[in-house]
Structure 1
């Protein structure tokens, strides 16, 4: 079995595609940053991420498929689904091999899979935008936590940069332990070695929470409770539009 490993980044994956064509070998198994898989399998080839190689592949893809479909490949990569690299590789192989555009050929199982996964990733990214609740810290930084199913945080950052240009903020993925910090000039990726945030609820500790934030949360919950019409409650419909896994991040849903 031909097993390849790479660093788990999109740049690393595009480098892998380049090496496949350069070496004229295509792996049967692709392993990213998955410690469990790496313990089970021995690598036959380790891909070294190379920006120049990745750019050549990306440029080549734009000649074969539309920019929208190229962006879709990136979004699907962020799904982190099992064997998604193999699905992407097969999609790319067909795109490069075909003399005509293949991106809308839904008879192909890989094209269909790409579209389905892209839809799921897009829906998860929209939920981040819909359910974000910032908490103000004593340092005047607004903080929000999430643990999304897919690695969708990069898809939401431009929205927050455009919407909240006049304040400092942090959006953090507690499942993958990384996030983005905006200082009103630029956005940078960050990682917390130690955090004053409850990993379960996403709530910041009392000692770093701004005094007016506590008041705002109380007022918001009071408003939410006061405007709720008990006679019209529909729990099933409510959870359909507001999945329960997001409730822990919403002040209006806190009981304590």
Structure 2
């Protein structure tokens, strides 16, 4: 152990890796731990550094124990916070696990504990991004009948939004592709599949940020609908009454890229 009593766990940022951090902590009674990502992590000269392997069996044991200790709502918060992909959130999730396992009574609602409060806050942020993606994602129909949308959410919310789009677009083949994380969800009219591919195979305009200006050939009707919607938006828009500050408050600029009327 380092002179300051701190141990550093290096892991890959996956759920399996995080749960293995918890397993290792109890295995060696190391509860004052700082989590670090494998890549680019730095530590002091006298620090104790531990590389955490991805052991599926150990991860499953920890997850089963968490399920026994937490309610469904708290498990949902745990998963939402994990999807933030933030090292700060991962640290709180680790500390949270240590906290709940070292107490025999339920502590999941003790918001006086910093990690209990932080997880609730992270879950709220991820939940807000989920709802915004469900509201603002727009599809464009290509000539081969595929409905395609490219997104770049702040958090990894694709696993959370797939039930919404499966219910809403059951009769269409669609692909929602996360440009930042380089994977997508493809619905083939029966099941949803997770797919990985290079973004430039979908859209050569990614580098310019014009993500909805697909290089793929659009269906003729899609181009017509695009123009009709833009014309409609222009016709009802009263420029003299525009309140840009209020507009941005309810519809942040980072979502404009998904909306046809913002691509005029």
Fold in common (TM above 0.5): yes
Number of the residue aligned with 1:195: 201
In structure 1, distance between residues paired with 2:48 and 2:29: 17
Partner residue of 1:119? 124
Contact 1:220-1:251 at 8 Å conserved across structures:
yes
Question: Are positions 1:205 and 2:248 aligned together?
Answer: no
Task: Report matched runs for 1:10-21 at 5 Å.
Answer: 10-21=15-26
Residue aligning to 1:239: 248
Which of 159, 162, 169 is residue 164 of structure 1 equivalent to?
169
Equivalent residue for 2:40? 36
| Contact 1:5/1:43, CA 8 A, preserved across alignment | no
Partner of 2:179: 174
Offset at residue 160 of structure 1 (A): 0.9
Query: 1:50 aligns to what?
Result: 55
Greater mean deviation of Cα atoms: 74-83 or 2-11 = 2-11
1:49 deviates by 2.0
Deviation of residue 50 (structure 1)? 2.8
CA displacement at 1:145 relative to structure 2: 1.5
Report what 1:89 is aligned to.
94
TM-score for both structures, normalised by structure 1: 0.90
Q: Is the 8 A contact 2:89 2:118 kept in 1?
A: no
Structure 1 residue 208: Cα displacement = 2.4
Pairwise CA distance, 1:244: 0.5
Cα RMSD between the aligned structures? 2.0
* Cα 1:104–1:190 shift into 2, 3 Å: same
How far residue 4 of structure 1 moved from its aligned partner, in angstroms, is 1.9
CA distance in 2, matches of 1:26, 1:139: 55
Distance 1:105 1:114 in 2: 12
Deviations 1:2-43 (A, max 9, x none): 32222322122122222322233346332336x333xx4599
Listed one character per residue, the Cα deviations across residues 62-95 of structure 1 (whole Å, up to 9, x for unaligned) are 2212011012111101112233221111111111
**Structure 1's 206 and 219: CA in aligned 2 closer, same or farther, altered over 3 A?**
farther
Distance 1:25 1:125 in 2: 35
Unaligned runs of 5+ in 1: none
Q: Does 1:141 align with 2:150?
A: no
Partner of 2:115: 110
Show structure 2 runs of 5+ residues with no match. Answer: none
Given that residues 4 and 29 in structure 1 are in contact (C-alpha distance below 8 angstroms), is that contact kept between their aligned partners in structure 2? yes
- Aligned match of 2:158: 153
Number of the residue aligned with 1:219:
228
**Greater CA drift, 205-214 or 65-74:** 205-214
Work out the CA distance in 2 between the residues paired with 1:161 and 1:11. Answer: 27
User: More displaced, 192-201 or 173-182?
Assistant: 192-201
Q: Determine helix, strand or coil for the equivalent of 1:144.
A: strand
Deviations 1:159-192 (A, max 9, x none): 1112111111111111222221111121122222
Q: State the alpha-carbon separation in 1 of the partners of residues 188 and 249 from structure 2.
A: 35
